[in-house]
Amino acid sequence: MFGAYGHTGRFVVAELTARGFVPVLSGRNAQSLEELAREHGLVARVASVEDPASLDRALAGTAAVINCAGPFASTTGPVIEAALRASIPYLDVAAELEANFDTFALYRERAREAGAVIVPAMAFFGGLGDLLVTAAMGDWTEADEAHIAYALSDWHPTAGTRRSGAVSRERRGDRRLRYSGGQWEHRTDAAPILEWAFPEPVGPRQVVGEFTMADAVTVPQHLSIPDVTTYMNADAVRDVAASHTPAPTAADERGRSDQTFLVDVVVRSGGAERRATARGQDIYAVTAPLVAEALERVLTGRTKTLGAVSAGEIFDAPDFLHALAPHITLDLHPQKQNA
C-alpha cells in the first residue's frame, strides 16, 4: 500500500494485518516506512510518484494496491498507471473532489476495456455515503434527490486533510461545487445555513448546506439521481476551517480519537422517502475497515462490475454495510410516504 505511514494509512495497515493480509508498505519517506515495517514485521519499499520505476518495484508481486497518500491530486494518476502496468486492482481513500473527478473521467472506460478494477474514494467520505444511498434506494431504479448529512462531534483535521484542502482550494479558487439538475454547477455565493433533523440522540442541528463532499461525485456515477446534496454540521465546519484546531489524538488502545459521527441519508422519489443512517467513532479510523472490506471483496470476486467504479456500483451495498459491524451501527429504515 502506498502512503502507509500517514495517519489514515496506519489504521489501514493495522486493519489489513488483523484480517490476515501481509501488506507491502511503500511511500517516499524511507525512515517512516522502516519504522512502521519494523513495528508490524513487514516489508518496506521506498517509492515516489515522480519515479514510475520505483512504483513498479513497490507493486511487484502484490495482489492489489491501496493508495492512502494525499494530496491525491498528485498521487492518483501515477499510482493508477502503475497498477494498470502491474495488472492489479487499485483502491484509494481520496476525499478530494478534483482527484475523484479525474479518476472517473480518465479511467472509467479505459479500466473497463482493460478488465481492471479501480475503486476511488473508498473511505468515510465517498464510499460510506455512496453505499448508504445505494442501500436506501433498494429496488428503485431512479430517484428525484439524495441528501447525505454528516454530524461530527468535532473535526480535528490531520495534516493530510489540511494539505488536501489547500490543493482543492488552489484548483477551485473561490468557487464551490453543487450537483443539481443532473450537472455540476460552480457557484460563488455562500453556502446556505440550514437545520437538519438528525436522528436522536443528535437531534436538530445547524448545518452548512451544499458542503459538497466526495459522495456527490461517486453517487451520480451509477445512480439516476439528478440532485445529490451533502451537508455538514456547522460546529464541525468551524473546527476544520480554523487554523488552530489540533490534529486528532488517540483516546483508545486502537489509536482512535473520541470523535463520533452520524451519517444520515435521505432519498426521495415522488411522494416516497427512504432513509439510511450509520454511526461510529473516528472518521479516519473507520476508513480502514471500509477499504479493507472492499479489498477483500475485490480479491475474492464478490463484485458486480469492472472499470473505475463507485462503492455502491461494484459491491452489494446492504451486505457490505452489515459486514462493517461493529465498526458502524447501521439503520436501514422502511419506506415512508410524504404527507
Give the model confidence (pLDDT) of 213-242 as tens digits.
Answer: 999 999 999 999 999 999 999 999 999 999
pLDDT > 60? residue 336: no
Query: Once rounded to an integer, what is the mean pLDDT over residues 264-269?
Result: 98
Q: Tell me how far apart the alpha carbons of residues 163 and 96 are, in angstroms, rounded to a whole number.
A: 10
Length of the chain: 339
Q: Tell me how far apart the alpha carbons of residues 219 and 212 are, in angstroms, rounded to a whole number.
A: 12
Give the model confidence (pLDDT) of 179-208 as tens digits.
Answer: 999 999 999 999 999 999 999 999 999 999
Give the model confidence (pLDDT) of 89-113 as tens digits.
Answer: 999 999 999 999 999 999 999 999 9
CA atoms within 13 A on the CB side of 13: 27
Q: Tell me how far apart the alpha carbons of residues 166 and 149 are, in angstroms, rounded to a whole number.
A: 23
Question: What stretches of the chain show up as alpha helix (H) in DSSP?
Answer: 7-18, 30-40, 52-59, 72-86, 97-114, 129-137, 159-172, 215-218, 234-241, 283-299, 311-314, 317-323
Cell of 182: 443532473
Least confident stretch, 22-26, 172-176, 220-224, 234-238? 172-176
* CB neighbourhood size of 249 (10 A): 10
DSSP letter at 123?
S
Q: In the prediction, which pLDDT does 335 show?
A: 56
Cell of 93: 481513500
DSSP letter at 19?
T
Cell of 49: 510518484
Q: Tell me how far apart the alpha carbons of residues 43 and 23 are, in angstroms, rounded to a whole number.
A: 8
DSSP 27-67: ES-HHHHHHHHHHHT--EEE--TT-HHHHHHHHTT-S-EEE
Give the model confidence (pLDDT) of 274-328 as tens digits.
Answer: 999 999 999 999 999 999 999 999 999 999 999 999 999 999 999 999 999 999 9
- What is the rounded average pLDDT for all residues in the chain? 96
Q: In the chain, what is the greatest distance between 2 CA atoms, to the nearest angstrom?
A: 61
Q: Tell me how far apart the alpha carbons of residues 278 and 280 are, in angstroms, rounded to a whole number.
A: 7
Q: In the prediction, which pLDDT does 82 show?
A: 98
Q: What angle do CA 333, 336, 338 make, to 5 degrees?
A: 145
Burial class (CB in 10 A: 0-12, 13-18, 19+), 252: exposed
Cell of 228: 445529490
Domains, in order of start, for the chain: 124-283+328-337 (3.30.360.10)
| pTM greater than 0.75 | yes
Q: In the prediction, which pLDDT does 168 show?
A: 82
C-beta of residue 307 within 8 angstroms of C-beta of residue 108: yes
C-beta of residue 289 within 8 angstroms of C-beta of residue 15: yes
Q: Read off the amino acid at residue 195.
A: E
Q: In the prediction, which pLDDT does 337 show?
A: 46
Cell of 158: 490531520
Asked if the bond preceding 201 is cis, omega within 30° of 0, the reply is yes
Burial class (CB in 10 A: 0-12, 13-18, 19+), 41: exposed
Q: Give me the percent of the chain exceeding a pLDDT of 90.
A: 94
pLDDT > 50? residue 339: no
Asked if the bond preceding 220 is cis, omega within 30° of 0, the reply is no
pLDDT > 60? residue 338: no
DSSP letter at 246?
P
Closest CA to 266 of 214, 318, 199: 199
Question: Regarding predicted confidence, which is higher, 282 or 173?
Answer: 282
